[in-house]
Structure 1
Amino acid sequence: MGDMQGALDELQAAAGVLGHRNPKVWEIYVKIGDLLKAAGDYTQALRAYDAALDVSPNQVSAFTQRGILNQEFDAYEKAEKDFESAVQLDPTNPQAWSGLGIAWMYLEHALPDGKPKGYDSYDEGSIFALRRVMSLQPKDMVTLSNLVMAENRVCDWSYKKEHEKAMKQALRERASRKENFAPPFHAFEFGYSPKELLVNSKYLSKRISESVQHRRKLVPPNPAAANLTSSHKLRIGYVNGAGFRNSTTTARCLQSMFKHHSKTVEIFCYALSSDDGSRERSSIQTSCDGGWVEGSRLTDDELAAQVSKDEIHILVDTTGYTMKQRTEIFALSRAPIVLSFHGFPGTMAAKFVHYLSSDRLTSPPEYQSYYTEKLALVPYSYLINDHKQSRQEVTSTTEQITRTELGFNEDDIILASFNQLYKIEPKIFKVWMRIMREVPSTKLWLLNFSKAASKYLRKEAAAAGVAKDRLVFHSKFPKDIELLAKSHADLFLDTPLFNAHTTGGDVLWAAIPMLSLPGENFAQRVASGLIRSVRMINMSLVRDLDDYAEVVIRMCRRRRVLHDLKQQLRQERQRLPLFATNLLTSHVEISMKMMWEVHASGTKPRHVVVADSS
């Protein structure tokens, strides 16, 4: 740090000597910005790049670096302008094209009605920009991973096989150097095996551990670690990177849990992002009887020290390797037990994470080698909801939305998949097209997460001999009518690559039967736990893709079967384990108490399995 400060002082002195209007001073400002950015002072770095462009407004490096910082501040429109300026000045600059591609990926969601000049959508612009980078730097595997994500979001499968092959090779090369390659959450869509996912996450966690090793010694000891009694009130600390905001499914899960927690636990919450003013976040904060910590302005070290001060027995990571992650907090923490819960659907592969919350179908015994954590298994789904309390609109006998209003005929068989479109693979889409060819009265109902996706999927459908108009796309529905609208679907088709998670609970509450093909990794088996929790395993879990097609075709040709399944869900949903919030919360609590009892006995973490008490 001293060397950096010295270099910074020298550069600032040189800038002072030259004077702000000297045409050569822009280079010094860029170097100052680079040093400040490396030191994590993004605000001052941004000002330095502003100064450089004020002096010399045609500098590619200044535009590019300022664009990168604007992305750090989530100012993607500003970043877009910076990167566009950079590529106009230098059309062969890969860093500028890469930044532009990433900015457009985010703007597709931030500005759903917008599009960049010359393209039909931000997603298509992003694909063009990232392919441009690959033409300039064919071995840039980081850009390739971003390109694959962009292509998956619009279901552009033109290069899917060769890209997945390259992604697997890139992972092997990085692993040979004991390095992480792909962001673990996105790795689920890259076709990696469970062992490859484990290796990828392991080297990320190793790097995190090593980066904080010298700082962990400075974190105060946690008195709870020495308290080996199992009879006292457990102090549970929930950490959420998104700050328990309404936009996250984890926040809605925790809101449900906290309303039903027993008096034998004390809840602490550590919000790592600012307040969004939502009722959900406010409800969670009210439920925290132990304490609430606004952590967005605290360093990882300060938060780890706060956890020790709060004497937390079990620190719960509800974010994992997803957006807004601050995994270093858990590597620094002196909490006796760290539990991964709900946020990341798979192994963290980290020595500092002791348990993973799951259920018996999502993580069966034969797949335990795919996890470094000990498993805390509940008898029904580990995903908790409060639909019975908060989503009663679907139980109304008055129909508020008709099939016709949604664009369907009364005699259509509506096959729906409301999952994110990146979860659709060519092989499952091929199965869906086979079903639709054999049952002409079917229509496929998808959500329009990307404006460009409908074009690509309809093109794939036409190539498979299915009329384009049999694919129906809708934008996301407002929450107050979402489940009412979706309840018109006759059957939900799950995606094997990455199952429906929260969406699965939603459609089952809306009385839509669900069909799923379980895979091997966590994200590919969550629907199995949901289906078991509505007691439909025999009807809804299939063995392979051929079985998937044949079961759906058989159901569609015997419409009475679909009708009876929907009626069964309508009649039973108030009594099904999946929607028994008290029951599911108690199972999670019991698993936590079992973890603590293992710790209190002086033994290392081991698998805990909660018996069915319903």
Structure 2
Amino acid sequence: MPDSGLAEILKNAQAFYQCGAYVDAAKSLEAALKIDPTSVENWYYRGVALQKMEEHAAAITCFREALAFSPDSFEPVHDLGVSLQAINRNVDALACFDKAVSLNQKSFEAYLNRGIVYSKLGNYKAELENYDVAQILRPDDETLLMNYGVALLQTGQFAKAVVHFQRVLKLDAYTEYARGLLLHAKMMCCDWSGLNQELLSLRVEISEGIPCIDPFYLLGLSDSMPDQLQVAKKFTEKHYSRSSVTLGGSQKYSHNRIRIAYLSADFHEHATAFLMVELFELHDKSRFDVIGISFGENDRSVMRKRLEASFETFIDVSAKSDKEIADIVRALEVDIAVDLKGYTTDARPGVFAYRPAPIQINYLGYPGTMGAKFIDYLIADQFIVPEDHQRFYAEKIVYLPGSYQPNDTRREIGDKPHSRDDIGLLDKDFVFCTFNNSYKITPQFFDIWMRLLQEVSNSVLWMLSKSPEQEKNLRKEAEIRGISGDRLIFAPHMELKSHLRRLQLADLFLDSLPYNAHTTTSDALWAGLPLVTCVGTTFAGRVAGSLLNAAGIPELITTSLEQYEQLALDLATNPTKLLTLRQKLKVTSRESALFDSKQFSKHLESAYITMWEAYQADASPAHIWVK
């Protein structure tokens, strides 16, 4: 073909690219490369078009072809890193960005993307160092400021994160997800200044359909079921709308056993693992082929080894892309895929968006609806999701008897700390405690706690320490309410068995809303510590009540703030009543439904069989009640 023909092809490719017709642009450039296969520019731009189409494997090939002819060309090196990063090949991507920076030390994008890769590799110090350089080059870039703020959150620098997100909103008040991140950062360090106005702005933006908050962060800020459903749906539609590229979930497999895959980033020392591990071990392997698929870190702990041993097949996919993981699930012919992450940290809902399994479930990790068309069921119980709440969930509800939460009856309670003396508590004090994460502490409940300290002489409030700013702010809030800040005692993180032991040294656990204690409730009850809760409206606000019911102590459940405060005061000022309750908890809880792991596994397996049989019979997913 003459040069004029090639020129015409390239002209068409450029026109297609500029109007967003990337498929046609890639085809035109493919034709051009047949004429001139040595063109660095054409290889590069075909890679860019494929990258826009999220065809990253093909894009990587194009960028490498370009680099074969021009090894030190900045653009192919940089964009090769972008595509490698997109499919989770982060070590290789980092090498590309290192080279890109060496080729162009004034490239904002190279420093930004190298920071993003360091984040995925868990090196937050290096991430922030790269963002610092990028900020010199482009100080008001919205994406950079957002990423910087998230990195500060991940490193526990909550007050600095607040400043960053405030700056983002000052530049653009409707920056996507910035308001939610700002509120979460403020709640993490218990900075409640301007909180009511911020929450009002959040509600307005949600009502207007503005993508202002991540679904998970909303759980700790709102008790509105309609808002939680709407935010989850919008989030899913925006980030995980893959209907045109699904692998198809309509296949019916003929296995001797139902094949179940649990997918999580938390198969290590993590709250989810502490709850789930015995369930994995107890699954009836004669009826179920149980697979673990891990996309999180391998901490090489005793828990990790126990988890790996609990599955018949365990696969580490931490270096693979969502599509590659979905392909693995599909190739394994999984009947039921269980998402243990939802929208929590390190979640991979993009895997499920490809529909790799015929039946897909949201369970345990994310306490709420995912609002996703690709999730069929949510596992709950009748306390957590009353039947008149079903309309606020995109999934069909699986109702387990007792509670939805599994437990590990093999978890050990340590022998240290031996006494209150070991951890800075006085024997004469009445110790209220709340070991909820700091974002679950609200001014409304803190008001109640301070009134309790006022009413109960020689009492203290024992809390989990998250940051120096959190401690400072809570002590200041106590002083505002007439309570000495010294009566707030902050506890560091401890390994589980030591944490369970120290819980036994407290007198009464105070729960909060709109996000209850979840694993923390089971920890307290396992340790023999009574917990007072107030029932909310959402899934996240009803878990503690579910667990107390299953433990056989429903008398610790209240339904109003007045009841909650009165019950806590009554127990704190009536030693005989509290002792009787602790003795009851010690005798009955271990024999209760909450800690009957064998029966729990049978109930869950019954649910799996019911949904599998419905699918085999071509029935659509429907609510399931396990008897």
Deviation at 1:274?
5.0
Query: What's the counterpart of residue 169 of structure 1?
Result: 204
Q: 1:492 to 1:366 in 2, by over 3 A?
A: same
User: What is residue 322 of structure 2 aligned with on the other side?
Assistant: 300
Counterpart selection for 1:222 from 234, 251, 256: 251
Partner Cα separation in structure 2 for residue 61 and residue 294 of structure 1: 31
| Cα distance change, pair 96–585 in 1 and its aligned pair in 2 (3 A) | same
In structure 2, what is the Cα distance between the partners aligned to 1:425 and 1:486? 22
Q: What displacement does 1:137 show? A: 3.3
Match of 1:188 among 219, 223, 228: 219
Cα deviation, residue 194, structure 1: 0.7
**Partner amino acid for 1:325?**
A
How many residues matched?
571
Note closer, same or farther for the CA distance 1:220–1:404 as it changes in structure 2 (3 Å cut): closer
SS in 2 for 1:516: strand
> Cα offset for 1:149?
1.3
Is the 1:411–1:441 Cα contact (8 Å) retained in structure 2? yes
**Cα distance in structure 1, aligned partners of 2:174 and 2:235:** 21
Of 15, 37, 46 in structure 1, the residue corresponding to residue 82 of structure 2 is 37
Identity %: 27
1:284 and 2:319 aligned: no
Do the aligned residues in 1 keep the contact of 2:81 with 2:97 (CA within 8 Å)?
Answer: no
Tell me how far 1:245 sits from its aligned partner.
2.4
Deviates more, 1:357-366 or 1:197-206: 197-206
Deviations 1:389-428 (A, max 9, x none): 222547xxxx852123222222211111001010011111
1:142 maps to which of 168, 177, 180 = 177
TM-score, reference length from structure 2: 0.83
Residue of structure 2 in register with 1:416 after alignment = 433
Task: Report the AA paired with residue 574 of structure 1.
Answer: R
Mapping 1:324-335, distance limit 5 Å: 324-335=346-357
Unaligned runs of 5+ in 1: 21-27, 109-121
CA distance in structure 2 between the aligned counterparts of 1:349 and 1:103, rounded to whole angstroms: 27
Give the Cα–Cα distance (whole angstroms) in 1 for the partners of residues 358 and 268 of structure 2.
30
Displacement of 1:549 after TM fit?
A: 1.2
- Deviation for aligned residue 1:181: 4.3
TM-score (norm: length of structure 1): 0.85
Match of 1:552 in 2: 568
Q: Is 1:254 matched up with 2:299?
A: no
Q: Secondary structure at the match of 2:155?
A: helix
Aligned partners of 2:115 and 2:365: how far apart in 1? 30
- In structure 1, the residue matched to 2:443 is 426
1:460-496 CA-partner distances (Å, limit 9, x unpaired): 0000011111111110123332111111111111111
Distance in 2 (CA, whole Å) between partners of 1:344 and 1:578 is 19
Farther off after superposition, 348-357 or 266-275: 266-275
1:579 aligns with 2:592: no
Change (3 A) 1:50 1:132: same
Distance 1:334 1:484 in 2: 43
CA distance 1:5–1:183, shift in 2 (3 Å): farther
Q: Gaps spanning 5+ residues in structure 2: where?
A: 1-21, 30-41, 49-62
Alignment of 1:445-456 (within 5 A): 445-456=462-473
Name the structure 2 match of 1:403: 420
Structure 1 residue 566, shift from structure 2 partner? 1.3
Greater shift in the superposed pair: 404-413 or 501-510: 404-413
Question: Mean alpha-carbon deviation: is it higher for 351-360 or for 418-427?
Answer: 351-360
Secondary structure at the residue paired with 1:210? coil
Pairing partner for 1:271 from 276, 285, 294: 294
Structure 2 equivalent of residue 203 of structure 1:
234
Equivalent residues of 2:178, 2:212 under 8 A apart: no
State the secondary structure of the residue aligned to 1:485: helix
Instruction: Provide the secondary structure at the position in 2 that maps to 1:203.
Output: helix
Distance change >3 Å, CA 34–CA 417, structure 1 → 2: same
Per-residue deviation, residues 427-466 of structure 1 (Å, max 9, x unmatched): 1111111222122332111010222111000100000011
- CA displacement 1:188-236 (0-9 Å, x = unmatched): 123261111111111233345632x23225x586342xx5x9xx63222
